[in-house]
Structures are given as C-alpha cells and as structure tokens.
Amino acid sequence: MTTLDERIDLYRRAGDHAVSVIAAVPDNRWDSPALGPWTVRTLVGHIGRSFTTVIEYSARRADRVDVADAAQYYLAIAEALADPDPINARAVQAGLALGDRPLDAIRELQDRATATLASENRIIPTIAGGMWVSDYLPTRIFELGVHSIDLARAIGVPDALPPEVADSVLALSVEVARRRGAAQALLVALTGRGQLPEGFSIV
C-alpha cells in the first residue's frame, strides 16, 4: 500500500470516529456551548470543513507545490490562525449549512470527500498554496482528531481517539512544535521536567 493509500485509509478512520461522536450529540444540545464562542453546531460545522475542503480542493489542480508537507502547512497559515474572526465566521456558516439534520449532512459530506480520493496522487490548491493530496490529508486527520476530542468533551462522552489517529495527530504536533523552535520546551514537559508556557499551542 502506498503512502497515499495509507493516508486515505487513516482519513476515513478519523472521519468515522468524528461522525460517531457527532452521532452522540443529544437533540437538545446543538445550541449548547462547545469550544470558546462556538456552539455544538458551530463546532460540528467546523469539523465538517475537514470534508468540504477535500471536496472543494480536489475539484481543482494546482500547477506547482508551494507547501512541502503538513507541518509546513500549519507554519504557512500561522498568521491566518492568529485572527479568529474569519475562522469563526466560516465555522458558523458551516454549522448553519448543516440544516435541520446535521448528522445526515455530515455523513453525506464524509461520503463525498472519501469518494473524491483516489490512488493517484495529485497537486491541489489549499489556503496555504499547492500541496500533494498525500501531504494535505494529515492536516485533515489532525483537525478531525483534535475537534472530535473537543466535541466529546462538550457533550460529555468518552473522548478516546483511535490509536492510529492519535499517533498521526501527535506526530504532526511534535513536528510543528520542533519547527517553531519549541522542541526543548516540549521535551521538558513530556519527560516531567517542567511545564509548557501558559497558553502554549502549535495552532
């Protein structure tokens, strides 16, 4: 199995897990607080963007590779992540677009996203620039994994990720931290020799 095949499979697993958590949202909790200013619906809408971006980007092709891998992607969009307003606006809109049957809408998006992926690697346009599909998918696995935890905590259900998804999210997190010059700070915290600075985050 190629690297792309492996990442497509892991993307499916991460999506399946996210959908399973969304399926556990009680009918009366969609407007409840979830993450910062986001409601459960808004958070689920944001999770759904890990499917819609794959659908939208896969419909086009980029002429060249601008972003070498998933870690560089997060470094490239760091400035955009520093301004939460556009992200919040997109998440709110995505949540509203789920309509009256959000779980069904999310399942349809997941099916469409996985259907667009094939064994042939290709360069797609992303908000950070052109990337190989195989390099972009780990960013979606990251988003699906992290926000599945957020949603599980918000609605009070177990938040354990599938081990292979957790491994992928952790590996990408460590690599982004390393490239940001935070390797020693992370090492000290992971070995019980200190704590990370307050508010530390790789995104």
Residue 188 lies in a domain: no
Residue 193 lies in a domain: no
**CATH number of the domain enclosing 8:** 1.20.120.450
Half-sphere exposure of 156 (CA within 13 A, CB side): 4
- Between CA 52 and CA 31 the distance in angstroms is 22
Q: Where are the alpha helices (DSSP H) in the chain?
A: 3-22, 40-58, 70-76, 78-81, 84-97, 102-116, 133-155, 163-179, 183-190
Could you report the per-residue pLDDT of 34-61, keeping only the tens digit for each?
999 999 999 999 999 999 999 999 999 9
Residue 27 lies in a domain: yes
Could you report the per-residue pLDDT of 1-31, keeping only the tens digit for each?
468 999 999 999 999 999 999 999 999 999 9
Residue 195 lies in a domain: no
Residue 69 lies in a domain: yes
Could you list the residue range(s) of the whole structural domain that residue 105 is in?
A: 3-165
- Between CA 56 and CA 36 the distance in angstroms is 27
> What pLDDT sits at residue 2?
65
More confident residue, 2 or 99: 99
Q: Are strands 38-39 and 129-132 parallel, antiparallel or unpaired?
A: unpaired
Residue 197 lies in a domain: no
Query: Would you state the structure tokens that stand for residue 23, as one six-digit string?
Result: 């399926």
What is the count of structural domains for the chain?
1
Statement: the pTM of the whole predicted model exceeds 0.85: yes
Residue written as tokens 């980007």?
57
- The torsion of the CA quartet 108, 90, 41, 34, rounded to 10 degrees, works out to 130
- Between CA 138 and CA 56 the distance in angstroms is 17
Query: In this structure, are residues 99 and 109 in contact, taking their beta carbons and an 8 Å threshold?
Result: no
Residue 199 lies in a domain: no
Residue 68 lies in a domain: yes
